[in-house]
Amino acid sequence: MHLTILSVGKIAEPFLKDGIQKYGQRIRRYAALEVVAVPEERIAAEGKKQYIVDKEGQRIREKIPRGSLIIGLDEKGKRFSSQELARSLGKWLEEGRKQIVFVIGGPYGLSEKLKGETHLLLSLSPMTLTHGMTQLFLMEQIYRAFTLLRGEAYHK
């Protein structure tokens, strides 16, 4: 299985970079992982929200391999427990899914068009999180899901 995390914008905070790197290394024990940053649209936001999310959505779509299972992160998406995420990951493995792409939008989220192309909208929290925090929390939960599937002691 190959996992891709597509995120709008670069991570600037060193503590987030360190955590993302740490969980990336852990995840790679179970699956191939690629973390890809697509450029954030640099335009004054006033009255341009739709333009921004559409442009970022185009950049994201260009990076999604054909035939991927696409999971978009959205605060209004479906909330899973850690165990539910592990069960879903296990199901996708059993189905023979070769490519899963997790998509994290920029400050204005994902475009409606991109949301419509996802197989699942996932919420990590009803709170608004920075894309860096979202990426770190997502990677920790993916790692936790793999350890749950394997019956390892990480999850208590």
Domain extent listing, the chain: 2-150
* 44 has a pLDDT exceeding 70: no
144/74 Cα distance (integer angstroms): 20
Q: Which residue has the tokens 């209004």?
A: 76
The CATH code of domain 2-150 reads 3.40.1280.10
pLDDT in tens, 13-39: 999 999 999 999 999 999 999 999 999
Q: Cα 108 to the chain's mean position, in Å?
A: 15
pLDDT at 45: 60
Confidence band, pLDDT 50/70/90 cuts, at residue 153? confident
What is the DSSP secondary structure assignment for residue 126, as one 8-state letter? S
What pLDDT sits at residue 131?
86
pLDDT in tens, 96-141: 999 999 999 998 899 999 999 999 999 999 888 888 999 999 999 9
Among 36-40, 41-45, 57-61, 138-142, which is the least confidently predicted range?
41-45
Q: Please, are residues 34 and 4 in contact by the beta-carbon 8 Å criterion? A: yes
The contacts of residue 141 (CB under 8 Å, 6+ apart) are 82, 85, 124
